[in-house]
Structure formats: C-alpha cells, structure tokens
Chains A and B, each alone.
Chain A
Amino acid sequence: MRVRLTLLALYVFLLASLSYFAMAFPAVDYVPPTLPNNSATNLNWTYINITSSENLTQALLEWGNSSGFTNISMSNSSGGNLTWYVNVTGLADRTYNYTIWAQNSTGNWNQSVRRFVTIDTIAPSIAIQSPQNATYINKVIDLNVSADEPVDTWRYSINDTGNTTFTPNTTITVSAGANNITVYANDTAGNMNRTIVYFTLNTTLDVSLAEPSTVSPTDFVQNTAFLVNATVVCRQGSCGNVAGTVRYNKTSANPDTPINITSGAQPFYIQEASPASTKSCPNNPLSEGQFCNLTWTVNATDSTLSYWKLGVNFSSDSGWTVPNTTSPATVSIVPCFVDLTVNWQSINFQNPLIPDTYQNPALGNADPLYNITVNSGSCNTDLYIKGTDMQNSTLGYSLGAGNLTWSNSSNTYSSSFNMTQAYSLFKFNAPPITNVTMWYWINVPPIFAANYNGTVFIQGVKSGSSFP
C-alpha cells in the first residue's frame, strides 16, 4: 500500500513538473516565408516569421554573424500575439545566423533553434573555354565552362532551340554553318547568369585520287588517253552541291589550272564527247557520309615530254563547306616504250628425234604458236633473233646454232634462215599492235644421242636505235 502511494506521488510530481515547464516557457517555431536552415537567397532582405505556443509579450530576433550580433524586435501579426515577424533588410552578401527570443505573459523567456542563412545577390560569372568564337571542322565540340562560384545548375541552348541541363565538361553536336550557344548558370541562391558564344561549323570534303597513282610517278605515252578518277566524301554534315575540277600545275608546283577542253591542247586535254574540266556530283546535294566519284578521260599531248602534277579540286556551293584538293599525282609523258609479248617460253620438237634427220618442224609451227606481239604504246620496233649452240655439258658435245632455222614469213622450211649467234633482224620498224609469227625447224646431223640445251634470244630495239 505504501509503495502504491509512493508511485502515485511520483507520477503526480512528474506530471506537475511537465505542466509547469510547458506552461512556463513558450515554444517557438519558424514558419514560412522564413528560409529553411542553411539555405541561401539572392535577395538582400529576408523575412523571419515565427509562431508561438502561447501568447507572447515580445519577440526578439538575434541576428548576426561572427562579427557581432544585434537584437531586432519582431512585430506581431494581426489577430493575436501568437505569430511574429520581422523583415531584415539591407543585408550584405554573406552567411548569417539567427535565433528568436520569445517572452510569454508570465515573463518567462524561451529561445528558438539557431538557423543559418546565406545572402548572395551576385550572379555567377561564366567563362566558356569551348567552343570559342571560331570555325570548327568537327561537329562534335567540347563544351567546357567554368564559373567563379559554385553553380547549382548548368544549362545550354544551341541556336535558341531549347535548354539542356548538363554537368561540365561535356560535348555538344552542332549542325553545319553558323551556330551560337547560350550557357546558363544558376547558383544555389537562385542567381542566374548566361553567356553566349558564336561559332561556325564547316563541313569537310574528304577527297582522294584513285587514278593516276599518288604513291609513285606514272608514265604515259604521248597522245594516249588515260583516266583521272577522284572520289569525294561529305563529312561532318551537309555539304551542299559539290563539284570537282581536274587540274594540272601550269604555273606552280601543284595543280592550279583546269585542264583544257579543246582537242589537241597541250599538255593535256579532256578527250570526251562533251568535255568539261568541272563536273558536278550526280547525287547532289551531298549529305553527311555520302560520296561521289568523278572521272575524266584525259589525253597526254605534252610535246615537251615533261613531268606534271595532276589533281582534282572539289568545292561546294554551301557557304560552310571547305574546298579540298586531292593529293597530286606525278605523271610523266614519254614518247613511247618497248613492250614485247613473246607467246612462248621454249621451242620444242618431236620427242625423240632421230639423228641424221633434217627439217624437223617445231611442235608449235602448225598452231602457229610462235607469235611475238609489239604491244600498244610501243615505239616502232626492230626485232632481232639469235641463238646459242645446243650443248651437252656432260658429254662435251654441241650442236651448232645454225642447225636451228627460223622463218618469219611462212611455215615453209625453204623460207627459213639459219639461227646465228649474232643478232639477225627479222622484223624492221614494226609499229605498235603488230603480231609477228615465226616458225622453227631443226636439222639433226649424225651426232651422239643426248639432251642438248640451247637458248633463243629475242631483242626488240626502238627503230632508229643502234644495232644490238
């Protein structure tokens, strides 16, 4: 019984104590538009509003920073003494802290929690390192920005077409031609600043010369037609209408002058039905990644037989596509060359042959197999023939070269000549695309049976040159 009474007394004491403290000290809470703790504002003033759990006789704002504090009396709102406010104005940019002292009707004071607020009225200064006010040739451009204070939100707008939030640093993709980018920066206080940069993206023409070779010089026979073959690929965006001009180096080290379209002009002319040194791509306009191939049939007329540089210059009617020129090909004009195709590699006879037999025809006589062609582009050519004795090195015997006979007129032994060890002319001044047929016979004298080896030499000599 005594224990129960003791517990009851303790309970009553605690309840009474709590009621005393609750009634003796007013509870103070911050209410909007009071800024949240540790927040920032871009205004140089701020409202501090509170509400109390009981009527207050006065409320004081303790406002300041590490430099010192000041007490500011708060006003009570109309309708009672439960809500109080104060507008702190003329604030300089910095961080402040504050607390409320409230006094109730019994004279008791209570203090609110202390809060911090940052006054920041200055917008961040933005610096754009990239892009700059320049011309770019790559549509993917770095967007590098910085600010003089922490930035809460970065945004950009390309050509005023919508805002994109980003985190520096990043990249942007722009279209061909003139562009601008506006970069916005918001700090945590809500200050916003922006900067705009104007720049240009040029599309590029990726060009190459397939023919003639740009790797090593190419020789062309004078007055022959050859192909100039160039390719262009549009890069980094649309390239508009693209055209190519075939050129040669008339006045400088590199191609600078369109090739003439007049037939017979020197050192080159375009040998086509409707000659044009400048040709447009058939699939114009070229968009990014599209290509076109242009060819010209060019005749090398140069009478000076010199070295020249050939190339193709590509350009566009768009204002943002940079013209480009292929690597030059070095070409040399030559009067002619000596080019023979001998359509066999050996002269063979019936196997075996009987000694003391004569006029044995070569196996290819009937086809006829033994053709020699003076190929196109060759000079007029004199053709010579000679042979060696047929040897058997093991036995030490030989069969004279004269036992092999040749004819360049018919498959008739009587028209043939003895092979000699010195060159004999068998075709004089043969023009290009001439085919010379030869026939061969062998006379086998009474000689020891064995394998005999020999060599037949054919020599082509530019007509007018010295006798071999």
Chain B
Amino acid sequence: MARLTLKNIGKSFGKTEVLKNISLDVEDGEFLSLVGQSGCGKSTLLRIISGLEAPSRGEILIDGQVVTEQSPKQRNIAMVFQDYALYPHMSVAENMAMPLIMSQLPLHARLPLVRHVAPSARRAKPSMATQVETVAKQLRIDHLLTRKPAQLSGGQRQRVALGRALVRNPGIFLMDEPLSNLDAKLRVEVRREISELHHSSGLTFVYVTHDQTEAMTMSDRVALMQGGEVLQVAAPNTLYTNPVSVDVARFIGSPQINILPVQSRLDGLFLGDINLHLETIGKVSDLQLGLRPEALSFRGVAGLQLQPIKPGSILLPFQKRMVEDLGPEILIHGCFEADPEIEIRVRAQKNTDYGKTDQFAGTHKLQVAIDPTQLLLFNAHGLRIQPTPHMAQSLGEVVT
C-alpha cells in the first residue's frame, strides 16, 4: 500500500532526452497505466520508478518519502517483466521464495555453503514455504512448485512471475508489458486475472503497455505518453470522450478517429465549401475536426441499424470505397465529397436485415449524418477547443 509521486522527472541518454519533465500522482490502491507507442519513454519511466535507472532530474516520492537515491530493494516495490525473467535453474518454489530470502535473511545466512547450515536460514524456512504456498494457491500454480521455468507454458510462467512479485507484500506493483508475450486468448484471461488481483490485493499498480485495450479495460486512470511527455492523465472514459489534444484522440480508439481540416469563418465552420452550421470560435482560423467512427451514421441504407437523428445533425454526401464486415458491425471506408483527400471510417451496427440483400452493391454515393454532440474540435496546434464560448475565445486567441 503506497502512494507514488513523481516530481519533474527528466531523463537523458547522452544528448537524447527521453523523458521531459514528468509529474504524476498515483493514489494508494490505484491502477495507473502508462500507454504510448514504443519509444515514448514509458518503460524508462517505469524503470526510474523501480530504481533500476536513475533520473537525470526530478524527485520520486513513495508515501511522501523521497526515494530518488534508494535502491530497488529499499523502495519495497515488485516488478513483473515482459519476458517473465524467471531464474532459469531454480524451481518455481525457489523462484517465488527468492524475494523473501533476500529481504528476511541476514547476509551471512545467504552466503554460499554457509546458507545450508545457518540456523537463522533453517528457522525462517517453514514460514517462507507457507507464504509461497499461500500465494501459489491464490494464483493456481501450487501444483507446479517443483517444476523448472523451462517446463512451464507462457501463461504459467507469467503467473509464477506474478507470484514472485506478490509474495513479499510490495507497496507498489510495477508491470512492464506483462501480456505481450502471450497469445491473444490467454491475454484476455490473464488480463482479467490481473484486474482481479488488483481488486483483491488493494495494491498500487503501475502498468506499462502499448496496447490501448489493456490500458482502457484494467486501469482506474491512464497516462498517455508521447515523445517523453505525458499528454493526458485521466480515467479511460474521459480519455476517450474528452481528449485534450489531437494526439490523444488519435491514439485512443480503434478504429482510429477521423480528423478533418476545417476552417472557422465569421459565419460558421466550413468543411471545404460546405457550412457545417456549427458554432464558431468567432475568428478566421484553420481548425481540426475530430469525428469518432461511431459519431457518424448512414441514412437510407438497408440492413443498418438507424440511430435516431439528433436535432441539428448535419447530412453530408459520402463516397464509399471499401466495406469491412466485423461480425456485429461493419466498418465503411470512404471520403466526404467535400474533401476527397481525407479517408473517413464509419462504424455502423448491423440489423437483422443485413446480409439478405447486397446493400452496398452499386451504391457508391451515400448520405452520412454527423451527430453534433459528439464532435471534437482542435486548433491548428492540435489542442482541444472546448465548446463553451468562454474557453473557445481564449483558445482562439492562442491560434491567431
């Protein structure tokens, strides 16, 4: 149980700056994910939290204590690695007992040869064995305790790695892409198990992943990183519906959000020459319009579930290029006739009529309705413009 605070953390390798001034607060018992593409610095940040890497600048606090100079052992953290990092020649039980041996036994009881006869080691053994067994039962690996890591499957190895981390009651649990070496089916299973583990243990989790689904499904909050900076820290739903910038909107959500260049004029918002009849920021400037694939819906196509058209919806002519059937829904790729350069993805729910006729055969020109309540507007620098007039004005000034 611990609260983690990062203050202005920076890290440079030679001349390359991989982390720029990162400040984060992780509450006691919170599950925070660090998400971003590879090379965004998320793993480096995790290694800095663990103490395996020293920051070039800034401070790390655990429960209000500065731990920047402390070794990983002193910080009482546990870490799970992508490739499990089990000790290859030790059995599962020995692997899991290692953190206990290292933290509970004095140095002389860990020396080679001496450790086999030291009385303190002999006394501590039974209690360690019970602790290992308890955790092994919890993770359902108690039947594997005598095996070597090489004799285990990927999922079992990952459970052993989790067990080794859990057995010592760490304050903070760090995970570095623990699921990426597992196959897709197992990944969903272990994902659920990690979530359950978080709930039952009540520990503080910091979880690094490049997979947004993992981050969105497991976390209390997600920190989205890019180029060594944290772009936004928010609950998964907030990150999706209320991104602070185009980069965040682009990263979160699959299929990806549609971003259209639009122009704000005094009399409205224009896509090409078409007035979208939306509120404008009152100044002439170039903006970007973000449309989630589900914020769009088709009119007059059989087989698709029609969403009720909200008042103020905008109807635009749409040119279809490709249709992907995803099972319960379909994904249509195409473009608005007003701007054929930009590819647009539209997600539509099928209804029971779908498949009875070839709905799209021959039809290339469709009508798309845009839900005006689900629009995301960004300025030319990619920053979000909130729909309140006051906010819009202040952001507009930044633009010009």
Determine if chain A interacts with chain B: no
Q: Which residues of B contact A (CB under 8 A)?
A: none
Question: Which A residues are within 8 Å of any B CB, using their own CB?
Answer: none
